[in-house]
Structure 1
Amino acid sequence: MIAADNRRAVQSAATAFLSLAAPTAMLGVIWPDVRERFDQSLGALGVAALVYGLGRATTALSGPMLMRWFGMGRAFVVALSILALAVMSMALATTWPMFLMALACVGLASGPIDSLSAGFITTIRDVGSSGLIHGAYGVGATLGPLIVVAVSSWRLALGFCGVIVIGAALVALRNQQAWPDITPYVRKAGSRAPFAPTALSLGAFSAFVGMEVTTGQWAFTQLTEGRHAGDALAAIAVALFWGGLSVGRLVLVRPSVRELADRVGLSRLALMSLGCVASLAFVPPELTVVSLAFAGLTLAPIVPTLFASTAARVGADHAPQLAIFQLLAAHLGGIGVPFLTGQLVDTMAPSVIVIIIVTAAATGALLLGAIERLPIRDSAPRTA
């Protein structure tokens, strides 16, 4: 259960994550209309993902600085206000450069939300809270493609996302005094985190976030261009992938679910997810909705658990620093893998999408196997 003192802070972070997920999750689904409007190639989605990812990575380390300047609560309000303006600018863009500039600003505003939340999750060390916050991202990512299906244009869909972000900013404004007192991390002279756990953690975050983002952005193209599925079916399949992630993370608030995930093991869950995404290459398109939903469900516990257990791998003294670098590694994976996918789609064929996703999943599973064999350095739970 979530500590009573942290509930409003978790609520604020979760709402922020939901709002920043929706516009990025719909990017792959609105892409056919966007690329036609701005006369771009199919693979240019990789360029759009790169621009967004670079913007998000640029501010991914800004959390400690923003905490010193504004405090946690006010920093969330500022970031969400900028995010709302950026999403609305995407909806109103009239040229390709304007669209890319607005998308970069969406990334720039998303990075601080990531950074602040990572510090919060690492400090309170609660898998349930981590699952709830990351699960809310899945809720937003599920809503994004469904909004596109429900409305008449990509501009209107982005406009709806802008309204969602404004709502999240109002929640943050109401809860800005509810955050626990978190001291920004300052590295001690001569203090270094252990190398092997650090390297394995960074690799795992890069692989799994790269897999998540690539699946969310490129599965629609794989299904429509590579498997000739209908647009509505493909959009629903993508929404169910994010829905599986969302449900799998939200239920982590239940101790029985966390215990089940521990018994199965993160590396086995990763292998299950790998099998599901691999099936996109050969199962009938109608069954891909099941494959993607189960892929999201089995993938769900991995990132929240890795974040919440950071101190167990490197010790409490090094956990805040590693949390920030894990976030940066996640962004690099979320940038590099989708961008590489776009380059290969333009030079090869949409079928390469599944190969890239499976490779990222296999890499992550191997790294998780090594992480599970690491000694526990700090097992004491902590609350703020």
Structure 2
Amino acid sequence: MSTWFLIVIYLAFISLGLPDSLLGSAWPVIWPEIGSSLGSAGIVSMIIAGGTIVSSLFSKRMVERLGTGRITLFSCFLTAVALLGFSIAPSMLWFIVFAIPLGLGAGAVDAALNHYVAENYKAHHMNWLHCFWGVGATMGPMIMAVNLVNSQSWRGGYAVVAIIQFLLVIILLVTLPLWKRVATTQEKLLSKDGELLENFHVEAAATTKLQTNVLRLRGVRPTLLTFLLYCGIETIVGLWGASYLVSTREVTADVAARWISLYYGGITVGRLTTGFIALKVHNRFLIRYGQLVTIVGGVILLLPLYSSLSLFGFLLIGIGLAPIYPGLLHETPSRFGRENSARLIGYQMAVAYTGTTLIPPLFGSLAVHTSLDLFPFVVFTLLTLMFLSTETINRLLIKPTQGRG
């Protein structure tokens, strides 16, 4: 039952990824139609991310009162309504209004499901969970590209994704009684496996007890910085990548949407692959080498190569990003203690979405006042800072013993 129930959780993460990539892939044709501006995508993204921050901070209390199942069900309903609203939006004001429930719904389900999987399943399941987010994020631009080619309209893309979300709401309603039952079963299995430390001595987890202020725990602050930078990078590439390709590399809007779809496809395939690799290799190594791959992709974007080679840079960044986010999340209970993991995962989600909130609109403002040509330079700088941050975490916390890795 626990294995089959994972399918429901994976479907929920597909639905979480679908809307994340729609705005950036369609924005080159949205803003002229609704009478907005190029930089306004950053405002919409900021409002969505602001909603996710609020719901992430309160996720622990909401899960304790309502349970993960109900939170997931209600959140998916909110996102479905918001996407339907986007599909009929006549102006920028409508985008701003419906961005609020989209953000609130996404943040609540993201934090709740991440904590549920971190507590109840092994590391490879966390990678595969976020792989299915990548499936949704990859499907989003594809759906949009098909609508742009066939109907010359972005509205149909949003309508299709809204329908998919409503179908998921029905599935979640039917499976609502299973959440507590599966959690009880998995807790017994994991306690037998001794999965938590995965053959590593983690100094923080060994000495940590329940903390009223988890921000004082050793290694928490660079961890939060990494989450902020990760989501900022992931979003800035997804949101502004298509606009950069259209304006600077002179490709058409539908081709740019497909290229961004392949970027998310890199994240998806990377997480599927690292899910298997995580059976033998510790998260720390997957995170480190993933970051090195992203930096190589960033260098390719920086170089004055043919436009077609830029696609390879986007693809490498996507593949490299794949293990970072799920790996850091799954390490939370072992690094900082199970007693603190629920609250800290909520904080991590909030800080991650702060990166989503601040970094893309800041770049949008910079691009409006200067040029989108700065896109690869900004991406490369952020990737380098994220690598330095994760290495700081490793120096503070991890002491490997003899064994795998």
CA-to-aligned-CA distance 1:97-125 (integer Å, 9 cap, x gap)? 11211122211111110121122133125
Q: What is the aligned partner in structure 1 of residue 154 from structure 2?
A: 154
One-letter amino acid matched to 1:367: S
Q: Determine if the alignment matches structure 1 residue 269 to structure 2 residue 265.
A: no
Aligned pairs, number: 371
CA contact (8 A) 1:122 1:323 kept: no
Q: Determine if the alignment matches structure 1 residue 278 to structure 2 residue 299.
A: yes
Which deviates the most, 319-328 or 256-265?
256-265
What is the CA–CA distance in structure 2 between the aligned matches of 1:296 and 1:189, rounded to whole Å? Answer: 35
CA contact (8 A) 1:55 1:111 kept: yes
Q: What is the aligned partner in structure 2 of residue 141 from structure 1?
A: 137
Alignment CA distance shift 1:290-1:85 (3 Å): same
What is the CA–CA distance in structure 2 between the aligned matches of 1:258 and 1:293, rounded to whole Å? Answer: 24
Identity fraction in percent: 24
CA contact (8 A) 1:28 1:45 kept: yes
Correspondence for 1:13 among 9, 15, 23: 9
**By how many angstroms is 1:347 displaced?**
0.5
CA contact (8 A) 1:312 1:378 kept: no
Q: What is the aligned partner in structure 1 of residue 320 from structure 2?
A: 298
Alignment CA distance shift 1:46-1:32 (3 Å): same
Q: What is the aligned partner in structure 2 of residue 382 from structure 1?
A: none
One-letter amino acid matched to 2:161: C
**By how many angstroms is 1:340 displaced?**
0.8
Alignment CA distance shift 1:101-1:378 (3 Å): farther
The secondary structure found in structure 1 opposite 2:46 is helix
Q: What is the aligned partner in structure 2 of residue 230 from structure 1?
A: 252
The secondary structure found in structure 2 opposite 1:179 is helix
The secondary structure found in structure 2 opposite 1:372 is helix
One-letter amino acid matched to 1:11: I
One-letter amino acid matched to 1:5: S
Q: What is the aligned partner in structure 1 of residue 108 from structure 2?
A: 112
**By how many angstroms is 1:263 displaced?**
8.2
**By how many angstroms is 1:39 displaced?**
1.5
Q: What is the aligned partner in structure 1 of residue 197 from structure 2?
A: none
Q: What is the aligned partner in structure 2 of residue 171 from structure 1?
A: 171
CA contact (8 A) 1:194 1:314 kept: no
The secondary structure found in structure 2 opposite 1:196 is coil
Alignment CA distance shift 1:37-1:234 (3 Å): same
**By how many angstroms is 1:195 displaced?**
3.6
CA-to-aligned-CA distance 1:63-117 (integer Å, 9 cap, x gap)? 2232233322122111111211111011111222112111222111111101211
CA-to-aligned-CA distance 1:267-315 (integer Å, 9 cap, x gap)? 3321220220332232211122222122211210111111001123222
What is the CA–CA distance in structure 2 between the aligned matches of 1:261 and 1:240, rounded to whole Å? Answer: 27
Q: What is the aligned partner in structure 1 of residue 337 from structure 2?
A: 315
CA contact (8 A) 1:313 1:377 kept: no
**By how many angstroms is 1:342 displaced?**
0.8
Alignment CA distance shift 1:69-1:149 (3 Å): same
Which deviates the most, 355-364 or 138-147?
355-364
Gaps of 5+ in 1: 380-384
Correspondence for 2:346 among 324, 331, 336: 324
CA contact (8 A) 1:77 1:173 kept: yes
The 5 A counterparts of 1:361-376 are 361-376=383-398
Alignment CA distance shift 1:376-1:160 (3 Å): same
What is the CA–CA distance in structure 2 between the aligned matches of 1:76 and 1:264, rounded to whole Å? Answer: 31
Q: What is the aligned partner in structure 1 of residue 117 from structure 2?
A: 121
**By how many angstroms is 1:257 displaced?**
5.0
Alignment CA distance shift 1:340-1:259 (3 Å): farther
What is the CA–CA distance in structure 1 between the aligned matches of 2:212 and 2:400, rounded to whole Å? Answer: 20
What is the CA–CA distance in structure 1 between the aligned matches of 2:35 and 2:263, rounded to whole Å? Answer: 29
Correspondence for 1:335 among 357, 367, 376: 357
CA contact (8 A) 1:268 1:365 kept: no
**By how many angstroms is 1:262 displaced?**
5.2
Alignment CA distance shift 1:52-1:191 (3 Å): closer
Q: What is the aligned partner in structure 2 of residue 37 from structure 1?
A: 33
Gaps of 5+ in 2: 185-208
One-letter amino acid matched to 2:300: S
CA contact (8 A) 2:83 2:159 kept: yes
**By how many angstroms is 1:128 displaced?**
1.4
Alignment CA distance shift 1:204-1:95 (3 Å): same
Alignment CA distance shift 1:311-1:150 (3 Å): same
CA-to-aligned-CA distance 1:180-207 (integer Å, 9 cap, x gap)? 4669xxx957564654310111011111
Q: What is the RMSD of the two structures over their aligned residues, measured on CA atoms?
A: 2.4
The secondary structure found in structure 2 opposite 1:132 is helix
Which deviates the most, 134-143 or 33-42?
33-42
CA-to-aligned-CA distance 1:10-66 (integer Å, 9 cap, x gap)? 322321221132223011121122111121221111112112111221211232232
The secondary structure found in structure 2 opposite 1:42 is coil
Q: Determine if the alignment matches structure 1 residue 217 to structure 2 residue 239.
A: yes
One-letter amino acid matched to 1:175: T
CA contact (8 A) 1:148 1:154 kept: yes
What is the CA–CA distance in structure 1 between the aligned matches of 2:338 and 2:285, rounded to whole Å? Answer: 26
Which deviates the most, 190-199 or 128-137?
190-199
Q: What is the aligned partner in structure 1 of residue 98 from structure 2?
A: 102
CA contact (8 A) 1:316 1:378 kept: no
Q: What is the aligned partner in structure 2 of residue 352 from structure 1?
A: 374
What is the CA–CA distance in structure 2 between the aligned matches of 1:264 and 1:80, rounded to whole Å? Answer: 34
